[in-house]
Amino acid sequence: MKRLAFALSLTVIAATSAFAQVTPEVATLTAEGTGTVHAAPDTVIIDIGVSTRGATPAEALAANSADMQRVIDAVLAAGVPETDVATSNFSITPVYADQQPTRTDNAGPVIVGYEVSNQVTIRIDGVADSGAILDRVVAAGANRINGIRFDIAEPQPLRDEAVAAAIAEARRQAELMADAAGVTLVRILSVTTYANAQPMYDRAVAFAAAAPVPIMGGEQAITATATLTFEIAPR
């Protein structure tokens, strides 16, 4: 009898422990919201390049280096800090004859010279100043403008505003759904947010001889999304 009582005691303890680990399911409701803030960009990023040709690689490189130095000097003279000027591409490539002579020795295409390309990426504070700077670098010898992009120097306050708007919209959607479903929002279980910035307009750069280059920055949209999960209870 004593052994049986001890076995029954162990069984009761084990059953009690297993019951304590059971977690009741929580009913949830998930809602999403989007918040958007619009702002004009205040920074211009431009890829400026110089391409030169010569009979030999050394000749092409010497000419390119002289032209690029004048371009860089013009950029710095316009007030762009050295920290906002960076080499972003450099290449030396052979130039082949447009029409290859008839060959019987399978020697391959005829090289008539070499081309050197050097590109720098500059960051300009202020969209209004970028056109005049472009004029100066083209006059200094830049013959390639490979790209122009717009940015916002301090985007974090705008992202914060967009995130707050997204969370408020997600909460509004949750309240709307809870009211329609006849349940009560008890508490927020999780919050997930994401924010990004996208240009609203893609503007082309037009060159003008008598006036500064017109640069239009358009507008950027900083968009955030929020996902809220609530615990709900019957009314």
Segment 89-117, tens digit of pLDDT: 999 999 998 766 665 666 678 889 999 99
Residue 152 contacts residue 158 (beta carbons within 8 Å):
yes
What are the boundaries of each domain within the chain? 24-40+155-234, 43-151
* Sign of the CA dihedral running 100, 103, 108, 113: negative
- The model's confidence at residue 25, banded by pLDDT at 50, 70 and 90, is confident
- Please, what is the average pLDDT of the chain? 82
Query: Phi and psi for 91 in degrees, rounded to 5?
Result: -155, 150
Architecture of the CATH domain 43-151:
2-Layer Sandwich (3.30)
Instruction: Please give the CATH number for the structural domain made up of 24-40+155-234.
Output: 3.30.110.170
pLDDT at 115: 96
Residues 125-162 pLDDT 10s = 988 878 888 889 999 999 998 888 888 989 999 999 99
CA distance 97 to 30: 66
Task: Tell me if 195 sits within 8 A of 159, measured CB to CB.
Answer: yes
pLDDT value of position 126: 83
Does residue 82 register a pLDDT over 90? yes
On the question of a common fold for 24-40+155-234 and 43-151, the answer reads: no
> Is the separation of the CB atoms in 133 and 81 below 8 Å?
no
- Per-residue pLDDT at 127: 84
Is 102 exposed, middle or buried (CB count within 10 Å of its CB: 0-12, 13-18, 19+)?
exposed
**pLDDT at residue 97 in the model:** 87
**165, pLDDT greater than 80:** yes
Q: What is the pLDDT of residue 214?
A: 66
